[in-house]
Amino acid sequence: MSQRKIIHIDADCFFAAVEMRDNPKLRDIPLAIGGAANSRGVISTANYVAREYGVRSAMSSAQAVRQCPHLTIIPGNMQKYRDVSQKMRQIFSEYTSIIEPLSLDEAYLDVTDISLCRGSATLMAEEIRQKIEASTGITVSAGIAANKFLAKVASDWNKPNGLFVVVPSNQAEFVKTIPIKRIWGIGKVGQEKLNKLGVVTCGDLQQLDFTILSQQFGRFAHRLSQLALGIDEREVQVNRIRKSFSIEHTYEKDLASTEACLMQVPKLMEELRRRMENKKSTLNPSKFYVKVKFDNFQQTTVEKAYQKGQEYTFFIMLMKEAISRQNRPVRLLGLGYRLTSNDSMQLSLPLE
């Protein structure tokens, strides 16, 4: 079998990059795309000037302004970003048909058996970067490796506007240097657990006794141990299977009572139904779930096995259970479905 060649392409501060392209006055100032700081806004992305002040995606706009008082926040234009994303994907398709988009600005490309550029994944990645900049006016970074995990890590290694290759002969040594925070699925809590065990890099994780790892991470321990060695057998999936479908809304003013939250359920259900119709989903639900974020920014999720025709009843029941866990004012509500793949039945969302 041929040595796999995977390219991971990731745009540099995508939304902000498009805005800086269209308005040069924004290029050298701290810039973020998101909602207003005085209306419960959240940052979608920030340029690299703003990141120097600690501004990050998913941060509340209010906190971002505290971090960087002279931050400029603009709402953005999703249609403009989709147009740029489409141009990027057209360029990807010039090199391979095995493309797995992860978001508007990010994708895996399997170029294992491609003869273009003398079969060099590195040369292909460089050509792709040049073409994207020429046609869209933004820059992207690329990572090249023998698997998806390492390619994704590599694309972030020389950001922005960089390229990094994990050469197979040097892969084992490179993996040891990867910080554990780069491992997919390791969140803040997981990092803290590993740090307490003296684990900071994949090299440290390789040395950790698997029994201890299992005690801390259960079934996820095997996956962690494999990634720590740079092992990732996942294929680039042209058609990715959606595992959930949801909608959520952040409210300008906290919802002060359970009743106020329950009144939002029909609106959220209708928005979820419209979204699924637009996506033409043919996947079946296996569970209902509800997400609640309280005014202290702590959040909780409740799930229950799906029963057709009981949507409203179950969403109400789960909402009550989630809110009762803290009984505090609520800033965000979300509801949705965990999904299973079955094309024989269209998911319908009747309102009772």
End-to-end CA distance of the chain: 55
Residue found under tokens 């095997």? 222
Closest by Cα among 217, 221, 223, 182 to 201: 182
Helices of type H across 178-304:
188-196, 202-207, 210-217, 220-228, 258-262, 265-279
| Whole-angstrom distance, CA of residue 26 vs CA of residue 22 | 9
Q: How far out from the chain centre does Cα 259 lie?
A: 32
Question: 69: Cβ–Cβ under 8 A, 6 or more apart, which residues?
Answer: none
DSSP secondary structure letters along 37-56: TTTT-BEEEE-HHHHTTT--
HSE value, Cβ hemisphere, 13 Å, CA-based, for 131: 16
Helix (H/G/I), strand (E/B), else coil: 292:
strand
**Helix 78-92 with 14-22: angle, nearest 10 deg:** 110
Catalytic residue check, 106: yes
| Whole-angstrom distance, CA of residue 246 vs CA of residue 275 | 9
Residue 10 marked as a ligand binder: yes
Residue 12 marked as a ligand binder: no
User: What single DSSP character describes residue 179?
Assistant: B
Helix (H/G/I), strand (E/B), else coil: 200:
coil
Q: Which of 19, 100, 106, 311 is catalytic?
A: 106
Residue 120 near residue 167, CB atoms below 8 Å: no
Phi, psi for 88 (deg, rounded to 5): -60, -45
Enumerate the known binding-site residues for Mg(2+): 10, 105
Enumerate the known binding-site residues: 10, 105
Kindly list the catalytic residues: 106
